[in-house]
Structure 1
Amino acid sequence: MDINQQNKATARALWAALDADPASAVPLLSHVAHWQGPAPVGLQTSGAAIVERMFAPFHAALEGLTRQTHIFTAGVSQASEAGTGDGAYWVAGTGYYTGRATAPVFGIPATDTPLRIRWGEFLRFDAEGRITHAQTIWDLVDWLDQIGHPVLPRPRGAAHVFPAATAYDAVLHDVQDAEETAASMALGRGLIFGGLNSFDKADLKSMGMADYFHPNLKWYGPGGIGACLSLAEFETLHQQPWLIAFPDRKVMHLESLFAEGRIVAASGPMGVVAHQTGPYLGHAPSGKPVDVSGLDFWLRTGGQFTENWVFVDMIHLFAQMGVDLLAKVGADD
């Protein structure tokens, strides 16, 4: 079994343990040095700490908690712009949890509402197959919107849209074709380092998004932004207001960028850096520097990406802009 397949088996075992009894997962996390959880959890520096402060309270608060996995992938990262490759091994997944929050958690009140809580997670492994670093984002803004506590204006895109891949099984348990993987990696690197980072601060066309995204792109954004169901919607409903707010944004501190088959995945707690010099989602310019904690998954069809699942830690982003979104809820932890 190759190392990516071994790491996938460990990831499956970890998630099964976390879903059944979070404490039982601690032995699998004995080499964790850095786990970036979503705000308000933040950075934890041991497996025991991330279980105690994130997974255990989440598990205790959610009755009938069930994980659905829509994408499952692994690979060796090439996150540097120079293209030399950083050689790190990663496994990533996304989907949603279902359940009912019968107790408050993370500043979110209890409710009888059936929930679909979007999750994304990246696990880094060392050469011995041990988890050493990780990043998790749960879409808390979308969760709050589902229970009638919106903390941001109604999204410009479609709310609560985060499906599995279209006409493709993106749960990649088996080894994928090497040529497909190479084509996906080339397109992903082109999009990030040749497209997104080429914005001239004036014209969206300067990034050449039409070279990377199909006209019927499905872009599944986080709570507060929503889903865009074409390239034109992506440009007008998300990209334009985002670049008005953060015109100097640059992708530069990715922790991972890898491909497997037709899937590309990228992560970074500070994967994008910028200054908020324009208004954003009803909030005035702060002039403050921000780093964007985000996760991305793309599906390549032919020579273009046709779907993109996007996570942004909006609680963390707005905190840097001087806005405490959870304080708007007024719930106890």
Structure 2
Amino acid sequence: MAFQDAKAVVRAHHASIGQADASTIGAALAAHTSADWHWRGMHPFYEQHGAAAVADSFWQPFLTAMSSVQRREDIFFAGENGPSHAPGVWVVSMGHLMGLLDKPFLCIPATRKLTMLRYAEFNRVKDGKIVETAMFFDLIHMMHQAGLRPLPPQTAQHLIQPGPRTHDGLLNDAQDKAEGQKTLRLIEKMIGDIAANSNSVENAAPRDATPQDELRRCWTDDMCWWGPDGIGATFTIDRYIEQHQRPFRTQNAEREFFGHKARLAEGNYGGFFGWANLSVLPLGGYLGLPAGPRAEMRVVDIYRREGDKLAENWIFIDILHFLKQQGLDVIARIEATAG
């Protein structure tokens, strides 16, 4: 029942947010979070502590800019954390926050049109309160909807990303524990495959002869990789290699992995986030940009398992933070250009 109890807390939290406006959001956030709530957001929001700080930094500006906001949720599940550094039950929600962009938000101009902010949220629940949250969102995707093009053309496809092909991602009811364990083991096997083919592992030769050999261990041939804006979404193993994996692996060097803050699964769904997951040395060409200094990547991955393979993967990367470490503050540049 721990998972179901935690889900109920997060559901109540989302309901409070959904009933709030910019003037009441602070109280709504405080209703289901601890006094020392630790919230992690993407650039330019970063880490905040307590409901008032979270409201001031993100939610008040967002609800001031966006009217008639709806949460369009595609995935919802809970699980016990795998890594030992943050034990406890986490609840994951993923989808879009949809509304009308009636006023500017950060550097994004008002359009008065329907706008979606793609999000993934991890909430750790303890003693009936949310004590820790990681909220990732795709601001570059929101910029594109307003007509901004902050980066060169991406290697894959830009679009509003759908939920699971099977339409079964909202795990409101209790799930078979064995199914969640199977999903988590498969995710961990996939992570091991990446390490086995990484040049950073004791300078060893890759285990698999080709990238296709590596991916077919854990992925269906018709996998969907729903990547963040700036990279884009890809379909099938071959196009994933062409449109994401090969550019990433050949245009970034010296990958260093740091692990995850949370890694969990329930039923056929699982995922993780890191703060940061890894760092790389950009060699030039990645995201259409020149070589830069070493920079860290904060990443969310959410997966759908189909039988004994992974079939879909939704990815969020704090690309704005990744670029800022290399001297490119996208938001500041757009604001300066607009001014």
TM-score by length of 1: 0.92
Pick aligned residue for 1:64 from 68, 79, 90: 68
Partner of 2:263: 257
Partner of 1:281: 287
Q: CA RMSD in A?
A: 2.0
Which residue identity does 1:93 align to in structure 2? S
Pick aligned residue for 2:38 from 34, 37, 40: 34
Partner of 2:106: 106
Which residue identity does 2:161 align to in structure 1? F
Pairing 1:136–2:135 present: yes
1:275-310, Cα deviation, whole Å (9 max, x unpaired):
223431121111x22221111110000111000000
Q: Distance in 2 between matches of 1:125 and 1:157?
A: 36
Q: Distance in 2 between matches of 1:176 and 1:312?
A: 29
Which residue identity does 1:3 align to in structure 2? A
State whether residues 70 and 171 of structure 1, in contact with CA within 8 Å, keep that contact through their aligned partners in structure 2: yes
Which residue identity does 1:281 align to in structure 2? L
Distance 1:108 1:161, change over 3 A: closer
Pick aligned residue for 2:334 from 302, 307, 329: 329
Partner of 2:14: 15
Partner of 2:47: 43
2:122 aligns to what SS in structure 1?
strand
Q: Distance in 2 between matches of 1:170 and 1:120?
A: 13
Q: Distance in 1 between matches of 2:329 and 2:278?
A: 20
The residue correspondences of 1:102-251 to structure 2 (distance < 5 A) are 102-126=102-126, 128-192=127-191, 194-201=192-199, 205=210, 208-251=214-257
Give the drift of 1:16: 1.4
Partner of 2:29: 25
State whether residues 212 and 305 of structure 1, in contact with CA within 8 Å, keep that contact through their aligned partners in structure 2: yes
Give the drift of 1:244: 2.2
Q: Distance in 2 between matches of 1:51 and 1:253?
A: 29
Give the drift of 1:164: 1.0
Q: Distance in 2 between matches of 1:175 and 1:75?
A: 11
1:64-114, Cα deviation, whole Å (9 max, x unpaired):
21110000010001136xxxx853210111101211211112222211232
Partner of 2:302: 297
State whether residues 295 and 326 of structure 2, in contact with CA within 8 Å, keep that contact through their aligned partners in structure 1: yes
State whether residues 196 and 251 of structure 1, in contact with CA within 8 Å, keep that contact through their aligned partners in structure 2: no
1:259 aligns to what SS in structure 2?
strand
Distance 1:208 1:250, change over 3 A: farther
Give unmatched runs, 5+ long, in structure 2. Answer: 200-204
1:90 aligns to what SS in structure 2?
strand
Give the drift of 1:245: 2.9
Q: Distance in 2 between matches of 1:30 and 1:57?
A: 22
Which residue identity does 1:159 align to in structure 2? H
Which residue identity does 2:41 align to in structure 1? G
Partner of 1:54: 58
1:92-149, Cα deviation, whole Å (9 max, x unpaired):
11101211211112222211232122111111123x2321111111111011111110
State whether residues 32 and 131 of structure 1, in contact with CA within 8 Å, keep that contact through their aligned partners in structure 2: no
1:194-245, Cα deviation, whole Å (9 max, x unpaired):
1122234486836822211111000100111110011111111011111123
Partner of 1:269: 275
2:108 aligns to what SS in structure 1?
coil
Give the drift of 1:167: 1.6
Q: Distance in 2 between matches of 1:250 and 1:17?
A: 40
Pick aligned residue for 1:316 from 296, 321, 333: 321
Q: Distance in 2 between matches of 1:8 and 1:51?
A: 22
Q: Distance in 2 between matches of 1:197 and 1:233?
A: 21
Q: How many residues align?
A: 325
